Every structure is written in C-alpha cells, then in structure tokens.
Amino acid sequence: MNPADLLMLAVDQRPWLTHALYGHTRRAAPDERAAICRGKHMVLDGLLAAVDGGVDSGVASESAAILVDDALGPGVAERARDHGVTLSMPLERGGLDVYEDEPDDVAAYLAHHRPDLAKVLVRYNPDGDPEVNALQRRRLAATERAAHEAGCRFLFELLVPPTPAQLESAGDRATFDEQLRPALILRGMEELGRAMAVDVWKLEQLGAEPNYADAVELAASTGGECILLGAGATAEQVDTWLTAAGRQGFGGFAIGRSVWWEAMRGLLAGEVDHETATARVAAGYTRFVATFRNSSTSPGTEPVPGVV
C-alpha cells in the first residue's frame, strides 16, 4: 500500500438510511436527523480510532478518507478535515434514477465545504435509453467542471442497473451482475470518460480478475484510478472482491454499510454504547485495510496480520 491509496469509509447514505432506520424515504424528522447525525459522528470516531491505531492497524493517516453528506451528518465533514482525514462529499440528489445535482448551486456548496473529492452517484447503463443517457452526460459534464474549478478531484460512483431485456436474458439479477454487468461497466466508463474528466471511478465488483485490470487500464488512459465499493455485502464477500481488485491495481476502496451498519443500528437502538459501536467500526474498517494491503503488497514486503 502506498500513501496515495484511498481507503474511504462511506457514510453519505440518505434515503437508504432513513428507510432502514425509520421505514420511509421522506425528509427525516428533527429527532430522526439528530439520531442519524449522532450515528454518522460515531462512524467518524471509528475511523479516527483506526487511524490512531497507527502501525498496528495498518491505517496510514494520509490514506484514511471519509465520504459524508451535510444533510444528515452536519459537522462530520468539518471534524474530519480538522483531523486531517481526506474528505469527500456527495453532489447527487439521493434515490433518483436520472442524475440531478443537490444542492442546486454546486459551486457555492463546494466553496463552502472545500472537500478534497466531489462525488456523484450515477445509474447509467450504456444500453439504456439514449436520450436519458445523453441528458445525464450533459448534466454530469457541468458538475465535473464545477468540481474541478473548485479545486476538487471528481469521484464518479457508477452503478449499472439492468435493462428489462438484459435481466430477461440473464434470468436473474445475480447472473446479470456476474456475467453481463462487468462489460457494461467498462462500456459505461468509456462513454462517460469521453464526456468528462473523472479522477476516481468508484466501481461495483467486476467478476473475473481480468475485468478489474481492464478497468484500471481504462481509467489510467485518461489519468484516473479505480476504487471498489462494498455494495452492503458481507465482510467475507467484500474481502473476495477487494482481494481481486487490489491484485489488479485498484487504488483503494469506498466501503460503508459493510463496516458500520450493525454498529450504528445497535447504537441508535440503545443496544450498545458509543464506545462499543466506535470500536466495531474501527475493527471493520481495519479489516478491509488489511485485506487491501495484503492483496496489493509487492513481493518482499511484510503483509498485515489478522486477515485469513
């Protein structure tokens, strides 16, 4: 692992989190916002605890990063910056199939918060509706320009949902994910990369290892890099994906729910205290750091203990 690696704890979920905790995707009520904010601050505390573990945790402070919103996590970004943690913040309106900026004034938002990376989450299938795809590319190109003008790196989270025809062809979602989606991700990167300058691609698992290498090569051709997202999968499943990605040159990860969901749920339900929840987040994050380090360790260097 080198100092440029991006080892990101993602806690920018908004509609997903309100639904998981409270069963709705409306604007959170004041007491709900306060509780979620408490949970997101706990997640940052877990990240900071992992960094404070120093050499034993394998977490270099210059590689530690957090992705967080200010709608349900006010104050987390500021605390992260004060502690020297690399900061990424989302620019998309959550839960939409077609990309929209949120807030409307991206430039002012970025000038105020000064994140290191401006992140967009986009659902884009190259075989989807051509007019919708073109609209998304136009919107995202404008967002990318605003991000770079603000001095931010542009982080693009690409999700490729199946079209009805693709899902019918595959037979089920799992088969689509493994057999059809990897090639669609690569095609999506090509199309989107022609319309905008992406610094970091945040990608779903790509199946066979050569697909990861192809993504790295494609990103590098325009000066970018790739990191892996966790998709809320089990830790064991994420370990498998992350090992393949690290071996093929991915520059890190952005993993969220797989690390902090049970700790946050337990904290807000009163089942565990803040200290216990924080320790669980630190342990989960450190686990994936070790997995990534061991997968990307060059010959002759010492692997991190504690990963099977």
- Whether residue 148 lies inside any domain: the answer is yes
State what percent of residues in the chain have pLDDT above 70.
93
Give tens-digit pLDDT for 30-67. 999 999 999 999 999 999 999 998 656 668 788 999 99
- Whether residue 164 lies inside any domain: the answer is yes
3 state DSSP class of 282 = helix
Quote the pLDDT of residue 3: 46
Residue 308's pLDDT band (cuts 50, 70, 90): very low
DSSP 3-state percent helix, strand, coil across the chain (nearest 5):
50, 15, 35
- Whether residue 62 lies inside any domain: the answer is yes
- Whether residue 183 lies inside any domain: the answer is yes
- For residue 245, the domain's CATH number is 3.20.20.70
Give tens-digit pLDDT for 107-117. 999 999 999 99
Two structure tokens written together for 151: 């001095």
Query: For the chain, what is the domain count?
Result: 1
Two structure tokens written together for 46: 């877990």
Give tens-digit pLDDT for 250-280. 999 999 999 999 999 999 999 999 999 999 9
DSSP class of 176: I
* Spatial CA neighbour of 258 closest among 283, 278, 233, 280: 233
Quote the pLDDT of residue 298: 43
Give tens-digit pLDDT for 83-113. 999 999 999 999 999 999 999 999 999 999 9
- Check pLDDT > 50 for residue 299: no
Give tens-digit pLDDT for 174-188. 999 999 999 999 999
pTM, to two decimals: 0.93
Look up the domain containing 37 and give its range.
6-296
* Spatial CA neighbour of 238 closest among 262, 259, 216, 208: 259
CB-count exposure of residue 30 (10 Å: 0-12, 13-18, 19+)? exposed
- Whether residue 306 lies inside any domain: the answer is no
- Whether residue 234 lies inside any domain: the answer is yes
State what percent of residues in the chain have pLDDT above 90.
91
C-alpha separations of 139 from 99, 189, 235, 256 in Å:
7, 16, 35, 26
- Whether residue 303 lies inside any domain: the answer is no
- Whether residue 305 lies inside any domain: the answer is no
Bridge partner residues of 200 (DSSP): 155, 225
